Amino acid sequence: MKIKTVIAACLIGLTAVPLVAQAQQAGNQQQQALPPALLAAIASGNAAAVERAIAALAAGNPVRAALLAAQTMAAAERMIATNPAAAAAVANAAMRVAQSPAVQSAASAQVATMLSAASRIMVAPAVIAAAPSVVASLAATTVAVASTPTMVAAAPTVSAAVATAATSVATNPIVVAAAPQASSALAQSVTTLTAAVETQTSTTQITTTTTTTQTQTSNSPS
């Protein structure tokens, strides 16, 4: 599968379901499951407070940190309609937790879910209008996580979706005006991510073809 096909599929996935419907999937149960200290930090919209709360509650457990960060990201997505600036800040805090190699190794599936949510948040018009500089930071952090060997190997399609969303952010006039240097750096990071996804996709294709050929050879009559 070519990278353009992968990105096209990701675009469909990003736009097929409205943001409101995506946010509602998490439901109130997940929000209630969050510890009070983390809920308070999220409500404040203070990224540093969110990171501190997750670190304290996780107590060095990367699986726990990933779960809390994923729940935080879901909460951030639900905030788009009511407090888009806070949504960007909270999402950025959650994604910074996912930058930990230990978190990615221990819970790559949770991190992939976070990457998908962050991709939706960063392209939301309300979020861009409310906090363009924070959106640039969120996009940069998300691209950094999506570019790691762990995540490119575990979720290449998700990483491709991140590249697509981040490209939209890097070329958005509002973001460029608010954070020109960050936008330029983001564009360069996206190029690196796209190349990594292409390499991973090609490697997967070669491995699959080789395995299929070997299977057919072993099954053919001698």
Question: pLDDT for 73-120, tens place per residue?
Answer: 999 999 999 999 999 999 999 999 999 999 999 999 999 999 999 999
Residue 214 is assigned to a structural domain of this protein = no
pLDDT digits (tens, 9 = 90+) for 152-179: 999 999 999 999 999 999 999 999 999 9
Average pLDDT, the chain: 86
Query: Does the pLDDT at position 125 exceed 90?
Result: yes
How many domains is the chain partitioned into structurally? 1
- 84-98 and 132-146 are packed helices; what angle lies between their axes, rounded to 10 degrees? 20
Give the per-residue pLDDT at 151. Answer: 97
Of the CA atoms within 13 Å of residue 128, those in its CB half-sphere come to: 20
Give the per-residue pLDDT at 206. Answer: 58
Give the per-residue pLDDT at 222. Answer: 53
Residue 88 is assigned to a structural domain of this protein = yes
- Residue 157: domain span: 3-209
Distance of CA 24 to the CA centre of its chain: 18
pLDDT digits (tens, 9 = 90+) for 186-197: 999 999 999 999
Residue 21 is assigned to a structural domain of this protein = yes
Residue 222 is assigned to a structural domain of this protein = no
Residue 165 is assigned to a structural domain of this protein = yes
Query: Does the pLDDT at position 4 exceed 90?
Result: no
Give the per-residue pLDDT at 78. Answer: 97
Give the per-residue pLDDT at 202. Answer: 80
Residue 192 is assigned to a structural domain of this protein = yes
Query: Does the pLDDT at position 210 exceed 60?
Result: no
Q: How far apart are the first and last CA of the chain?
A: 33
